[in-house]
């Protein structure tokens, strides 16, 4: 059993580049990016702040508790991978699909491709997925990745963050002008199943993770995702136009967030950031 590993003493930042070669190596990702660029698809670019909010829906077990809430959600609803189709089967109408994985399986995650949705695909996504979505409203975005060569001029709107779609999705919403994000099914842990779209039963390689005495069945990859997500939380809350991120449901990410907020580190960080941001005002006085 693993006890909680403390996060770094200094808060993480949303401009940190995480290594993302756990699924595909850099050469494969580069080949996919080069292929995507040849398609001349419209890019996601930075937009000014706009009204509205976004629900980012993943496939953690807790999402089953929020179907009715998602049906009534008065904003954009983005589904990550198979959560997109899972929602459609339950009467929730997702307006966007999010994909970053450079693997073919994303084609299987989209057995139906409604015309009235927007498909936000990272450039490293497998070429077959782009073929599958030909004729649909695809928007290309770029994950900040120090191991590959990205097009000139994308520096200002590369999407920073962690190693997974969930940990970068709030930053994508921010670039698109949204300042209010709600996360559903972002558990990073299991209950009696791994994901809502998969069969019953846990895998044999689970890790038991202890947060203040509460045990979460999870995996090493999900532990990384949870830590990356939580480390960004203070950064989302700072600045002249902070990003409000609300996590709905239980799970490892929620527990780590509660621990961080309860420790006082979060408030201390914001006070220090405010002092840093207002130093020039004190000097002027």
pLDDT number for residue 81 = 94
Summarize the chain as % helix, strand, coil (round to 5). 35, 20, 45
Half-sphere exposure (Cβ direction) of 142: Cα atoms closer than 13 Å: 25
Does a structural domain hold residue 9? yes
In-domain check, residue 8: yes
pLDDT score for 275: 60
The answer to whether position 207 is within a domain reads: yes
Total domains in the chain come to: 1
- Distances from the Cα of 32 to the Cαs of 98, 100, 164, 278, in angstroms? 17, 11, 17, 44
Give the closest residue to 253 by CA, choosing from 201, 199, 214: 214
Q: Is residue 285 part of a domain?
A: no
Question: Residue 2 has what pLDDT?
Answer: 37
With respect to residue 259, please indicate whether it lies within any of the assigned structural domains. Answer: yes
The answer to whether residue 284 is domain-embedded is no
Q: Which residues of the chain have pLDDT under 70?
A: 1-23, 192-203, 262-285
The secondary structure of 195-261 as a DSSP string is: STTS-SS--TT-EEEEETTEEEEE-HHHHHHHHHHHHHHHHHT-SSSPPEEEEES-SHHHHHHHHHH
Range of the domain at 54: 2-278
Give the contacts of 68 (CB within 8 A, at least 6 positions apart).
none
79-93 tens-digit pLDDT: 999 999 999 999 999
Is residue 156 situated within a structural domain? Answer: yes
Asked if the structure places residue 223 within a domain, the reply is yes
């Amino acid at each position: 059993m693993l006890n909680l590993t403390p996060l770094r003493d200094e808060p993480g930042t949303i401009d940190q580049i995480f290594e993302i070669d756990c699924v595909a190596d850099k050469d494969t990702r580069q080949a996919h990016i080069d292929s995507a660029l040849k398609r001349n698809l419209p890019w996601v670019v930075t937009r000014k702040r706009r009204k509205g909010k976004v629900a980012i829906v993943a496939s953690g077990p807790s999402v089953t508790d929020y179907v009715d809430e998602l049906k009534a959600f008065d904003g954009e609803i983005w589904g990550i991978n198979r959560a997109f189709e899972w929602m459609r089967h339950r009467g929730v109408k997702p307006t966007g699909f999010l994909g970053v994985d450079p693997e073919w399986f994303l084609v299987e995650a989209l057995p139906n491709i409604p015309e009235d949705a927007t498909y936000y695909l990272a450039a490293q996504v497998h070429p077959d997925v782009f073929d599958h979505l030909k004729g649909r409203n695809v928007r290309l975005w770029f994950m900040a990745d120090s191991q590959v060569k990205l097009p000139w001029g994308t520096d200002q709107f590369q999407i920073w963050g962690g190693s997974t779609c969930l940990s970068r999705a709030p930053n994508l919403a921010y670039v698109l002008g949204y300042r209010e994000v709600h996360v559903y099914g972002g558990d990073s842990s299991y209950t009696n199943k791994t994901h809502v779209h998969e069969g019953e039963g846990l895998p044999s390689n689970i890790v038991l993770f202890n947060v203040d005495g509460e045990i979460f069945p999870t995996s090493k990859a999900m532990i990384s995702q949870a830590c990356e997500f939580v480390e960004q939380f203070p950064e989302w809350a700072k600045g002249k136009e902070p990003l409000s991120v609300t996590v709905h449901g239980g799970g490892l990410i929620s527990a780590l967030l509660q621990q961080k907020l309860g420790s006082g580190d979060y408030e201390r960080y914001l006070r220090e950031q405010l002092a840093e941001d207002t130093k020039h005002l004190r000097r002027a006085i």
